[in-house]
Amino acid sequence: MQSAKTEWIGDWITPKNLLVCILIVPVLLIPFFYKGGAALLPMHLVIMVASYIVLAQTWNILSGLTGMFSLGHATFYGLGGYALAVAMVKLKLNPLVGLAAGIVLSAFFGLLLGAISSRLTGFFFTISTIALAQVIRTIAMQWTPVTNSITGLKIFRPIVSRMTFFYLSIAMAVAVSIFFAYLRRSRTGSMFVAIRENINLARSLGVDVVRYKTISSVIAAMIASVVGSFITYYIQVVDPNYLSPIISEKIIMVSIIGGMGYAWGPIFGSVLILLEEFIRGTLGARYAPLASTLYGVILIVFMLFRPKGIVSINLKRSFGMAIAALTPSKDVNASVGPNPENLGAGGGSTLHASQFSKEK
């Protein structure tokens, strides 16, 4: 029998995954394409997109895999941000201490959410995530001596080149996406989806529902907190906007439009983050809120026609003909773009592309 390890690696080396690896190369070279200051904006965009990929992956663990639908995910992002800033500005500590404090603090609130979810499910759980987010946000606004209220905290740090943030953010996005795919296929991931699919059947098959719900929310909270600290260190300011429902909405949007429960979901969905920046860039900052309106419209359109997100679009069917027309070879399959299920995100170890496309 194959060992578990070789089976995994073997599953992952597919032409499509390799294709994605190749496509990422030009992105990695962005700092060298542009001369001097021109690279700063594209790098900033990539940093934001990569950060949202990570945030959306964490939401995807909690809500996409485990079915604990959260509308307050910004809580953990904000906690990470504030922990770093308070540690640096108020306590004059090393930023790494702040990062660690944020992780610990978020883990605590993740535990709390897990405990809540053992009592409240579905709609009532969702409401409690909103309530928790609201509580944390109010504290950030009112606890002026520590948080500086709506002005927020400005941090001073040694100059770090944007390239460092750029590569760090990409590394995080790749690592967390691979972690998600790994998690999905692990025992823990199976326990998560069992809870999402049928909580009573899961219980009767021996799944300790409370334990796995808690694990899910703690993992999601800790990773989201890292992103909060990272962005705060990068932008050098944290304020109550970090805890705003708009952040939670964006995280959800990226994950849902990409495809909930799939590793590729947040990666595909993250193009939406560019939309806002694009509008800001072409129409001016005054029109940036327009993006929110567009997000809403896009979300409704997707819910109506593609409830399972971009990953459920059958690339073979959509582009198959175009590609067939362009390539003389008959082998359409090999030349099609990234297929969502290759990162192992799909249902179980043996979900095939054909089933994917049959899904509505």
Partner 1 sequence: MFFEIQGITKRYGGLVANSDVSLHVNQHEIVGLIGPNGAGKSTLFQIIDGFVRPDSGSIRFKDKDLTRLPTFKINKAGIACTFQHAQLFPQLDVLESVMIGAYCRTTHRAAARQEAEKLVAFTGLQGKESTLIDKLTMFDRKRVELTAALATRPELLLLDELFAGLNSTEVSEMVDLVLRIRREMKPTFLIVEHVIKVIMSICERVYVLDYGKIIAECKPDELSKNPLVVKAYLGEEYDAS
Query: Binding residues for partner 1, per CB under 8 A?
Result: 1, 3-4, 7, 185-187, 190-191, 193-194, 197-198, 200-209, 347-352, 355
DSSP 217-276: HHHHHHHHHHHHHHHHHHHSEE-GGGG-HHHHHHHHHHHHHH-TT-THHHHHHTHHHHHH
Q: Are 64 and 262 in contact (CB under 8 A)?
A: yes
Output the smallest distance, CB 192 to partner 1, in A.
Answer: 10
Output the smallest distance, CB 136 to partner 1, in A.
Answer: 31
Which CB atom, from 212 or from 268, has the smaller least distance to partner 1? 212
Which CB atom, from 152 or from 346, has the smaller least distance to partner 1? 346
Output the smallest distance, CB 336 to partner 1, in A.
Answer: 21
Which CB atom, from 92 or from 358, has the smaller least distance to partner 1? 358
Which CB atom, from 48 or from 260, has the smaller least distance to partner 1? 260
Q: Is the dihedral of CA 264, 16, 191, 172 positive or negative?
A: negative
Output the smallest distance, CB 306 to partner 1, in A.
Answer: 16
Would you give the DSSP letter of residue 67? -
Which CB atom, from 73 or from 308, has the smaller least distance to partner 1? 308
The structure tokens listed for 93 are: 């500590």
d(CA 42, CA 26): 12
* Tokens 């606004």 sit on residue: 141
The H-or-E segment that residue 154 falls in is strand 153-154
Output the smallest distance, CB 256 to partner 1, in A.
Answer: 16
Question: Which stretches of the chain are DSSP H helices?
Answer: 4-12, 15-28, 30-33, 40-59, 74-85, 95-119, 122-142, 144-147, 162-185, 187-197, 199-204, 209-235, 245-258, 264-269, 271-283, 290-305, 315-326, 332-335, 353-358
Q: Are 245 and 226 in contact (CB under 8 A)?
A: no
Output the smallest distance, CB 80 to partner 1, in A.
Answer: 31
Output the smallest distance, CB 104 to partner 1, in A.
Answer: 27
Which CB atom, from 93 or from 207, has the smaller least distance to partner 1? 207
Which CB atom, from 65 or from 315, has the smaller least distance to partner 1? 65
